Amino acid sequence: MLEIHDLHASVNGADILKGIDLRVGAGETHAIMGPNGSGKSTLALVLAGHPAYTVTRGSVTFDGRDLLGLAPEERARAGLFLSFQHPIEIPGLRLDHFLRAGYNEVRKSRDEDEIDVLKFDRLIRAKVKETGMDAALTKRSVNDGFSGGEKKRNELLQMTVLEPKLRILDEVDSGLDVDSLRSVADGINRLATPESATLIVTHYQRILSYVVPDAVHILIDGRIVRSGDKHLAAEIESRGYDWVTEAAQPAPPSVAPTAGQS
Amino acid sequence: MSPQATPEAPYVAAFEAAEHDGAAHDPAWLRELRRDAMAEFTRAGFPTARRGNEAWKYTDVRPLASTAFAAPAPDDGPGELDLSPYELPCPRVHQLVFVDGRYAPQLSTDPPSEGARSSHVFFERGDGPIVGRLAEAAHYDVPLVHEHLGKHAGAAASAFASLNTAFVRDGAFVSIPDGVSVPEPIYLLFISTGRPEPAAPTVTYPRVLIVAGRDSSATVLLSFESLGDGVYFTDAVTEVVAGPGAKLRCITLQRESTAAYHISTTQVVQARDSAVSSVTIDLGGSLVRHDLSVLLAEPGASVSLNGLYLGTGNRHVDNHTFVDHAVAGASSDEVYKGILDESSRGVFVGHVLVRPGAQHTVAHQVNKNLLLSDEAEADTQPKLEIFADDVTCTHGAAVGALDPAALFYLKSRGIGEAAARALLVHGFVREIVDSIANDAVRQYADEAVTAALGTG
Ligand SMILES: Nc1ncnc2c1ncn2[C@@H]1O[C@H](COP(=O)(O)OP(=O)(O)OP(=O)(O)O)[C@@H](O)[C@H]1O
Ligand SMILES: [Mg+2]
């Protein structure tokens, strides 16, 4: 589904990703962990096509297509979804209007008919219920004045409406209370199908006990320095990252460490 | 001296002709008002100076001054007019229509029970709104008209206001008696036929007087529309008097032709505990200038001023607002937003004066401009003069392009560039459109704004 090969990316002249190799197959869930500033969000944003980031080397294929050659909206229409670590506030743009626009654009790209306001209203009410979000939020401006947890739930709602093939979740668990974490995790699991995949960026083992990963990758300084199964997450939680860095130390710095394969 | 010797001369000649022709039936005070205004206009002249002319520093009216505008010819009526594009989406409306400055009785409607406009009784009613012609009101010498017309936006305002007053014969007179609430909108529609060349450019002087009595409540929509895309000049003056406790919402929708000059002067005077909401939406015109002044004359008065201006082509829109906190305990809240595309230019000068002793004043002002092209330009200038110490005054200004982070967010949900931009632009204007409380007027304005924005 997703194949990242030797991906290098920079922002404002600073090299952030320094050779990422990663394969995520259909039906799989991969977790990415790593210290602050290691490049996790950069990776997510590069995959989504953020214009501020420049890919300087490497390739990414998504469903057999050259992902890097697609505009952000084309990636979304192809089934890639990024749940942002910091969802942006857009005063004046009503959430339901925004969602309908996105939903219809995706449908159009699949040669499906756009759906009208009434039908969409019904759809969104069902999805809101499914996500456990406060329905009143859909009549408010996108993320405008939403609490941290509400913003994350809104990302989940958008994902539920758009039904993507690849879900990239950047710290979807941060700022959520225990119950919300549970329900967001349930939401993520509900969307999982054998044809779709999940890439989940997190700092905490907790969400991974609900959304169980097939592989865990540790990203440090723009490289995946270690990959393992779900137990790696627990190990990170109890021991931190230092030991990983030390363990990775023997590799000469100029050579990219072996990337994890699932 | 030839009549073309100065830009003002043709107006003097037109004034003399008009006074000579049909002014005899007007009350003496009105004729005097006009004559004084003409004298003031000739004394001041068009504000064309490009130096030492602070109030017109950003706006060059020389092209206007050098164009020969004539009064619309009397037989130049539009014939059959289809007003359906201008209909408000509500069953009941008090509507006055003027076409090229002339009252159009066949187009002016009222809820059936309101009765004939043209009677003494009509102007004396106390149970419902009086939405009538200034010419009639003057004819019956309605005391409120005598008391207020030209007293608020008189000679002091600008040469353009004086010019309007010099030619005041008709217009709209709106009076809400004490304690009366008018649920349906009052709609004052000024249509210009806007004939293109070879028709001569015309000038009209729309005039509105609104007097809201004690504890009354009403919504008034002033709309300036054009049927053609010709050159003409609208020189409008509106005076608004809000009595104690009155709640008045005034919306101005300016959709003149893209070649038109639109200059307006509005003076609002507010008594104790009155609440006025003003929303000015500019979607048309070539050169547009509004002078909007609010006098918060008594404690407890509050005003909200909202504005939206869209610039395309070479449009130039200049909003000058002045809020005079003359007494303690009044509040003002102002939000103006501009969307400037192509080579358009938006100007906002927001003057707030807090006079000595005007303690506990609350005054907020914001001006935001969205530049959609590299050639578009915005000038924004807050002018806060505060002579009291116990006040809350804030102001903010912003000029910038669409937020790239917001654009990316939309695109990441599958929305393409053009649609994403349109959604963000609509989001930007939402706040202003939503400041219109009346459902029908808001819906109407929303559609006008959406149409003017094009996509979306
Ligand atoms: N626009 C930018 N300009 C300059 N540096 C940037 C920019 N965006 C990101 N960076 C830098 O890139 C590095 C990686 O940032 P990134 O957001 O990918 O980290 P992260 O792993 O997601 O961290 P966190 O766990 O804190 O979310 C950081 O050092 C950050 O400061
Ligand atoms: Mg991050």
DSSP letter at B413 equals: T
Question: How many whole angstroms separate alpha carbon B261 and alpha carbon A156?
Answer: 51
Give the chain B residue whose CA is nearest to the CA of A48.
B412
Which of B127, B238, B221, B253 has its CA nearest to residue B438?
B221
Q: What count of Cα atoms within 13 Å lies in the side-chain half-sphere of residue A139?
A: 5
Rounded to a whole number, what is the distance in Å from the CA of A135 to chain B's nearest CA?
20
Question: Distance (Å) from the C-alpha of residue A257 to the closest C-alpha of chain B?
Answer: 31
Cβ distance of B414 and A102 shorter than 8 Å:
yes
User: Taking a contact as any Cβ pair under 8 Å apart, which residues of chain B between 388 and 417 contact chain A?
Assistant: 403-406, 408-417
Distance from CA of B86 to the nearest CA of A (A): 26
Q: Which residues of A touch B415 (CB under 8 A)?
A: 73, 101-102, 105
Residue B365 β-bridge partners: B334, B395
Which atom of ligand 1 is least distant from the CA of A219? 21
| Residues of chain A contacting B455 with CB distance shorter than 8 Å | none
| A179 vs B366: which has the higher pLDDT | B366
Cβ contact (<8 Å) for A105 and B423?
no
Evaluate: CB of A40 within 6 angstroms of ligand 1.
Answer: yes
The full set of domains in chain A, from first to last, is 2-246 (3.40.50.300)
Q: Do B70 and B200 touch, CB atoms closer than 8 A?
A: yes
Any residues with CB less than 8 A from the CB of A136 and at least 6 apart, and which?
none
pLDDT classification of B22: cutoffs 50, 70, 90: low
The alpha-carbon gap from B365 to the nearest alpha carbon of chain A, in Å, equals 18
Contact A51 B413 (CB under 8 A): no
Residues A108-131 have pLDDT tens digits of 888 999 898 999 999 999 999 988
* Of the candidates A187, A260, A244, the residue with the CA atom closest to the CA atom of residue A38: A244
Cβ–ligand 1 distance for A251 under 6 Å, the answer: no
Beta-carbon separation of B430 and A93 below 8 A? yes
Residue A189: count other Cβ atoms within 10 Å of its Cβ.
Answer: 13
Task: Concatenate the DSSP letters of all residues of A220-243 into one string.
Answer: ETTEEEEEE-HHHHHHHHHH-SHH
Question: Given this model, what pLDDT does residue B105 score?
Answer: 82
Q: What ranges in B335-402 are assigned the alpha helix state H?
A: none
Kindly give the distance from the C-alpha atom of residue A94 to the centroid of ligand 2, in angstroms, as a whole number: 26
State whether the beta carbon of A12 lies less than 6 angstroms from ligand 1: yes
* Residue of B85, B412, B212 whose CA lies nearest to A82: B412
Q: How does pLDDT run across B308-331, given as a tens digit for each residue?
A: 999 999 999 999 999 999 999 999
Say whether B203 sits in a helix, a strand or coil.
Answer: strand
Mean per-residue pLDDT for B121-136? 87
The first and second tokens of residue A83, run together, are 């749940």
Amino acid at B333: D
Torsion region of A231: left, alpha or beta (phi above 0 gives left; psi -120 to 50 gives alpha) = alpha
Q: What is the ipTM of this complex?
A: 0.92
Contact predicate A145/A139, CB 8 Å? no
Interchain contact, B430 vs A49, CB within 8 Å: no
Is residue A247 scored above 90 in pLDDT? no
Q: Which residues of chain B make contact with A82, given a CB cutoff of 8 A?
A: 412
Q: A73 to chain B: which residues are within 8 Å by CB? A: 411-412, 414-417, 420
B76 pLDDT above the threshold of 90: no
Which regions of A171-222 does DSSP assign to beta strands (E)? 197-201, 215-220
**Nearest-by-Cβ selection for B431 from A92, A105, A109:** A92
* Non-local CB neighbours of A43 within 8 Å, separated by 6+ positions: A7, A9, A17, A20, A32, A201, A219
pLDDT tens readout for residues B417-442: 999 999 999 999 999 999 999 999 99
Alpha-carbon distance of A199 to A13, in angstroms, equals: 27
Token pair belonging to A232: 């790696």
Question: What's chain B's average pLDDT?
Answer: 92
Instruction: Pick B365 or B127 by higher pLDDT.
Output: B365
CA distances from B106 to A50, B109, B142, B227 (A): 59, 8, 24, 18
Rounded Cα distance between B244 and B216, Å, is 9
Q: Which pair of tokens denotes residue A42?
A: 């950069």
Q: What's the pLDDT score for residue B116?
A: 64
| pTM, full prediction | 0.89
For the CA of A43, the nearest ligand: 1
| pLDDT value of residue A254 | 44
Q: How far is the alpha carbon of B335 from chain A, nearest alpha carbon, in Å? A: 14
Span from the CA of A218 to the centroid of ligand 2 (angstroms): 13
CA nearest ligand 1 atom 30, residue: A37
CA distances from A72 to A122, B53, B216, B399 (A): 28, 50, 54, 27
CB contact under 8 A, A71 and B411: yes
Q: What pLDDT does residue A257 have?
A: 45
Contacts A167 to B, Cβ<8 Å: none
Question: Is the separation of the CB atoms in B103 and B193 below 8 Å?
Answer: no
Share of chain B above pLDDT 90, in %: 81
Q: Please judge whether A98 and B413 are an interchain contact, meaning their C-beta atoms are less than 8 angstroms apart.
A: yes
Residue B339 class from Cβ within 10 Å (0-12 exposed, 13-18 middle, 19+ buried)? buried
Mean pLDDT across the stretch A133-158?
A: 93
DSSP conformation class of B112: G
- Report yes or no: B191 and B95 within 8 Å, Cβ to Cβ: no
Please name the member of B412, B416, B431 whose beta carbon is closest to the beta carbon of A82. B412
- Cα separation, B289 vs B280, in Å, equals 11
